[in-house]
Chain A
Amino acid sequence: MSQTHARKVETFTADEARVDWHSAALLALRDKRDLQAKSLPEWEQMRETASRMKLYVLSHLPELLEQFTSNCEANGMEVHWARDAKEHNEIVAGILKERGKKKLVKSKSMLTEEVHLVPHLEKHGIECIETDLGERILQLREEPPSHIVVPAIHLKKEEIGELFHEKIGTQAGASDPTYLTHAARESMRQEFLSADAAMTGVNMAIADEGAFVVCTNEGNADMGAHLPDLHIAVMGMEKLVPDADSAALLMRMLARNATGQPSTSYNSIFGAPRPGCQLHIVIVDNGRSLRMADRRHAEIYKCIRCGACINTCPVYRRGGGHSYDYFIPGPIGLAIAGDNPEANSEAWACTLNGSCNNVCPVKVPLRETIAYHREQLAQQKQLPYHKNAYMPLAGKIFGSPRGLSMAMAAARVGLRIMPQTLQRRIGGWSKSRDFPKPPAESFAHWYRKNRGE
């Protein structure tokens, strides 16, 4: 059993100024998202359309997968289906090793985090270079991402300056973002030129075209894919869309919702390998079809990974992305994996406030899915925070008008006689808040006395 989420946030929350800085950085993204969404009067209609389109995809996956695969093959690509993480990693390592490849430049892909691809390839002697700036920073720090879109959002520019000084030889004490970015670009350029294979993720896989879309802001995916003679694209099977119009709809929403840009800077549609080159696509299941069989869980696979739910989540913003057990933090991470009994406090890292539902471009019922995970864990008696012990008792007390009345009267007396200093030392609620001042009598008592029955 891993530590509770409440315990894991303690290091992060101890530095309140840093919490405020982190929260403000993410709220800036939320504010930019609001501006962009509100610039399109048809925004809510787009959300509804996108949601229905993705529901269509989830309910027609077998046909769409076959259609996408045969169209890609007709376009000269090679398509591989991987049942799970192990199979995915073996397929990728196999493609690279068969062709004697030694160095892979990769753009950002949450899937490769999910299946732990990089350590696997390194075991096979293949060097992997992350080319997304945020991901590269984390690779140099040997640290996992703390966000799915802005993976190094937890780091300050001074910390990145120190890291770059140590790893790529920038001036000591330099933290100017432009200077650091130029230095990163120069060092990255050498990696691009010496790589013999490229990997990208997939934002949308267009079934009726046999093509896929990759969106980045840095152009790093394109730089990677256009230099070496081998491009491997990896995708979870939920990335499918029926046609180019559907992809266009999601492209109108993705960057607006993620970072408040009308569009990502680079949007490339890959439809065939370049002459003399090879283009492989690996499509991964890794538990998705099993989880989709549960209707109350299936809709998480509508997600297009914009990260807006994470930006708006008040718990994520104040607790940081490294406080979660699952590699995807925030509401979408809890909705995907919040039923894991090994990390059973995760589903409670949420106030059920529902802001995430409202920003989601494809209407994933995040709040309801997280609540569902709580129900599942309750049924398995895998509740965190001593709930297995006190919830049955609470149920009994609250289920009896007499019992409830007596318990509440006792609580009022308790709060009245307990000294303030002791109340403050109980912890939990009273760590930062006083208890209410208890009234002399309940409303029910007052009503009986003053209004009769």
Chain B
Amino acid sequence: MKIALFIPCLVNHFYPEIARDTLELLEKLGHGVSYTQGQTCCGQLMTNSGCLDQARSSVEALGKALLKEPCDAVVAPAASCVVAARENLERLTSFEDFHSLAGKIFELTEFLHDIAPLDHPLKPLRKTVSLQMSCHGLRQLGLGTASELVVARPVNKLQALLSRIPELTITQPSRDECCGFGGTFSVDERDISGKMANDKVADHLATGAEAIVGYDPSCLMSLGGVVSRKGIPLEVMHFSALLNQVT
């Protein structure tokens, strides 16, 4: 498939290794992958605070950059940015090409699970990981079945992908509760946010895992911040790093 990478601003500037892992992984899986310069923010920083007007130029710049190269699908390694990009391209712009673009943006987990299912043989990896099922991916993108819902057959797409890695042990924290990041919430409500992040790290640690693995870099940044502050023996990583390593 011809894929255009959408690399959200936080990943581009603070976690470039997540973008490189995503790029290499998709290439190893046989996709043609391109990246266009000039990508900005999905607008989430502004729209999360209700500032729709302030997000428009950012969303338009992102849309323009993504349209530079024709592709079958746009793939991003960040769930909440995918939710915001889709929603904001639809509601904040009136350009039809932007609206059809919104329809083909996929988060990496859903791309590998639903759009171009991962069927490559994977190398074994002896490691115990704890899944960070962040809220936007879980409840907006449906990457898993949230614990509140009464569903006969719950799904977890991240687990489904990672369970293809031989010898990998997958655990999950006792609750799929929010990690407390929430964009500017992490600054505005520093006490509650910090407490939530600490509780989430403790829950991951209690699983006995060596690493927290997730699909949302912003939540991972928050959890990583606690791990670093407290000197907790946990790696914090995006799942693209794991898959790239074993593909």
User: What are 17 A-B pairs at a CB distance below 8 A?
Assistant: A9-B189, A44-B150, A312-B148, A318-B192, A351-B182, A351-B196, A352-B48, A355-B139, A355-B148, A383-B49, A385-B188, A391-B51, A395-B54, A400-B61, A429-B190, A447-B35, A447-B37
Interface string of A405-443 (1 = CB under 8 A from B): 100110110000000000000011111111110110111
8 Å CB interface, B165-217 against A:
175, 177-178, 180-182, 184-198
Most buried by A among B53, B151, B190, B197: B190
Q: What are the residues of chain B within 8 A of A127 when measuring CB–CB?
A: none
* CB closest residue in chain B, given A45: B150
Minimum-distance CB pairs A-B, first 3 = A433-B225, A374-B50, A395-B54
Q: Are B35 and A314 in touch, CB under 8 angstroms?
A: no
Given the interface pairs A10-B191, A353-B135, A443-B20, the reply to whether A436 lies near B15 with Cβ below 8 Å is yes
Cα–Cα, bound, A111→B240 (Å): 52
Query: Does B11 lie at the interface of the complex (its beta carbon under 8 Å from any beta carbon of A)?
Result: yes
Q: How far is the CB of B189 from chain A (nearest CB, A)?
A: 5
8 Å CB interface, A26-74 against B:
27, 34, 37-38, 40-41, 43-44
Most buried by A among B52, B175, B193, B225: B193
Cα–Cα, bound, A37→B149 (Å): 9
* CB closest residue in chain A, given B228: A434
* CB closest residue in chain A, given B194: A432
Q: What are the residues of chain B within 8 A of A19 when measuring CB–CB?
A: 195
* CB closest residue in chain A, given B201: A433
Query: How many chain B residues touch A (Cβ–Cβ < 8 Å)?
Result: 73
Q: Are B52 and A6 in touch, CB under 8 angstroms?
A: no
Query: How many chain A residues touch B (Cβ–Cβ < 8 Å)?
Result: 82
Q: Are A348 and B185 in touch, CB under 8 angstroms?
A: yes
Q: Are A412 and B13 in touch, CB under 8 angstroms?
A: yes
Contact of B50 among A376, A398, A441, A448 (CB under 8 A): A376
Chain B residues near A (Cβ < 8 Å): 7, 9, 11-17, 19-20, 23, 35, 37-41, 43, 45-46, 48-58, 60-61, 65, 135, 139-140, 146-152, 175, 177-178, 180-182, 184-198, 221-222, 224-226, 228-229
Q: Are A399 and B58 in touch, CB under 8 angstroms?
A: yes
Given the interface pairs A9-B192, A355-B146, the reply to whether A395 lies near B46 with Cβ below 8 Å is yes
8 Å CB interface, A153-176 against B:
none
Q: Are B148 and A359 in touch, CB under 8 angstroms?
A: yes
* CB closest residue in chain B, given A5: B189
Query: Does A453 lie at the interface of the complex (its beta carbon under 8 Å from any beta carbon of B)?
Result: yes
Q: Are B49 and A404 in touch, CB under 8 angstroms?
A: no
Q: What are the residues of chain A within 8 A of B14 when measuring CB–CB?
A: 408, 412, 436, 438-439
* CB closest residue in chain A, given B225: A433
Q: How far is the CB of B90 from chain A (nearest CB, A)?
A: 15
Q: What are the residues of chain B within 8 A of A448 when measuring CB–CB?
A: 37
Cα–Cα, bound, A391→B188 (Å): 13
Q: What are the residues of chain B within 8 A of A396 when measuring CB–CB?
A: 57
Query: Does A349 lie at the interface of the complex (its beta carbon under 8 Å from any beta carbon of B)?
Result: yes
Cα–Cα, bound, A395→B45 (Å): 9
Cα–Cα, bound, A435→B188 (Å): 16
Given the interface pairs A433-B229, A438-B14, A448-B37, the reply to whether A398 lies near B140 with Cβ below 8 Å is no
Query: Does A134 lie at the interface of the complex (its beta carbon under 8 Å from any beta carbon of B)?
Result: no
Query: Does A75 lie at the interface of the complex (its beta carbon under 8 Å from any beta carbon of B)?
Result: no
Main SS at interface, chain B: helix
Beyond A355-B178, A431-B194, A433-B226: 12 further Cβ-contacts under 8 Å? A6-B190, A318-B192, A354-B135, A355-B139, A355-B148, A355-B177, A375-B50, A391-B51, A394-B54, A399-B40, A411-B13, A429-B187
* CB closest residue in chain B, given A447: B35
* CB closest residue in chain B, given A428: B187
Given the interface pairs A351-B178, A391-B46, A442-B16, the reply to whether A384 lies near B52 with Cβ below 8 Å is no
Query: Does A139 lie at the interface of the complex (its beta carbon under 8 Å from any beta carbon of B)?
Result: no
Q: What are the residues of chain A within 8 A of B184 when measuring CB–CB?
A: 348, 385, 387
Q: What are the residues of chain B within 8 A of A5 when measuring CB–CB?
A: 189
Q: Are A319 and B192 in touch, CB under 8 angstroms?
A: yes
Q: Are B189 and A392 in touch, CB under 8 angstroms?
A: no
Cα–Cα, bound, A446→B52 (Å): 32
Q: What are the residues of chain B within 8 A of A38 when measuring CB–CB?
A: 150
Q: What are the residues of chain B within 8 A of A429 when measuring CB–CB?
A: 186-187, 190, 225
Contact of A399 among B61, B140, B148, B186 (CB under 8 A): B61
Q: Are B49 and A358 in touch, CB under 8 angstroms?
A: no
Query: Does A150 lie at the interface of the complex (its beta carbon under 8 Å from any beta carbon of B)?
Result: no
Q: Are A427 and B190 in touch, CB under 8 angstroms?
A: yes
Q: How far is the CB of B238 from chain A (nearest CB, A)?
A: 13
Q: How far is the CB of B167 from chain A (nearest CB, A)?
A: 30
Q: Are A34 and B147 in touch, CB under 8 angstroms?
A: yes
Cα–Cα, bound, A192→B153 (Å): 51
* CB closest residue in chain A, given B57: A399
Contact of A351 among B149, B180, B198, B226 (CB under 8 A): B180
Q: Are A395 and B53 in touch, CB under 8 angstroms?
A: yes
Most buried by B among A357, A392, A429, A443: A443
Q: What are the residues of chain A within 8 A of B191 when measuring CB–CB?
A: 6, 9-10, 13, 319, 431
